[in-house]
A and B are shown apart, each in its own frame.
Chain A
């Protein structure tokens, strides 16, 4: 009796240990065959930039043409930190004028089209001078390390992203020291209020939070969309009725589906809330959910990065 039982358990354990080792290596393999499927729809949904289009055509996932809404990304400061907000915003504008802003933007093709500051709209007379900051001051940049392409771990393991580079450039311009404070997104308000960081600058949406922070300049905008597999029968927002849609917790897409797009969310069979989009994307690949509600830049990053 004990012998048999032991044998059965032993047999059960073998696939478990194999499952533990094998799954990471097969991740890349499983995405390859799907890469060429349904290029036409992918192009249809693509934006103006040729690079974005090329990237989307290469992937088997695309956004629906209808979007959920537009939002603006700005820098959030502690309430009452008007002076700091003004100085940083001024430095960002100065970087737009000297071309640094566009230069950094070029490194991140997914967000290039969403950078909304234009040199023509800026009045150079009100901006802080280069090197005018207090050199003994260290500016603590608070951000989520899981929010590409605004702030994320680079391939070489260093901290980077558009927001991180722009913030570093601001500190260089003003002559401040720079300190990165990657935090848990859920704890951002506690971090800011506790003073462990001076700002929240990480693809941070202003809409709906207008009164909660002292806001710096809006430097990027973004569109919330619905990401579906290339062979999906979902073509419009109405087709999402009765489907399972994934979203990351504490994101604008999530807030929108709870608020301005609540009626749409109510038609879903289920709104699955994830801790990170990475897991949601794996679920979409595996076919466990039908679509993901995500902003266009993070979504493009997800699909191009995972299909390349």
Chain B
């Protein structure tokens, strides 16, 4: 008889289901990557290995423009959202959880609680009422808003997990408030700030609903452009673009994860 016969923690079938689950989770990603190397113009018919679609993708000027728009918006929105989230988190992790502070916490997290399509519509109407013509500004402001809670939550969690003793010790050792923040608080919450910024960046790069709603000439983001391509039909070039995006996401996710794991080891 095997050792596991009486292991009360084991449930028959659960492991098998989990294996299937992970296969299912990675199947679509694998399919996209595999077919991006397909020579054939038809996505579903494999005729041989080729990297020509990557060359085609990289030579696609419209794609590069969309990438530039996405990156510009994401970098500005992430910077703004992280700064705003950091300030709010510094206040809210120390303030009593009641009254105006409780309300402020709801407000910061508001984009998470509302369906994105509603927010997108709201922003569209507001900007049309204000007569705001600058497409990039509109897009960046809207992205900054829905990125803020993603930046806020990890920073807030990090601050909550950090003992107040460190800040008090800094003040006790003659550091004025700003010095205490720069030399003690900020380095200690840096992994949270970094994780928050990464999350915000990815959310901005990924966004379709808001970007599509606010789309106007010259502000087509990468997901909106990809959507337009999909509408025209699936092509191996699309697979190549998707694969590049997948790889970018995986690299960012891995960096974020390793950074937070390293920070945890240091603080132990």
Q: Do A and B come from one complex?
A: no
- Seen from chain A, the residues whose Cβ lies within 8 Å of a Cβ on chain B are none
B residues touching A (Cβ–Cβ < 8 Å)?
Answer: none
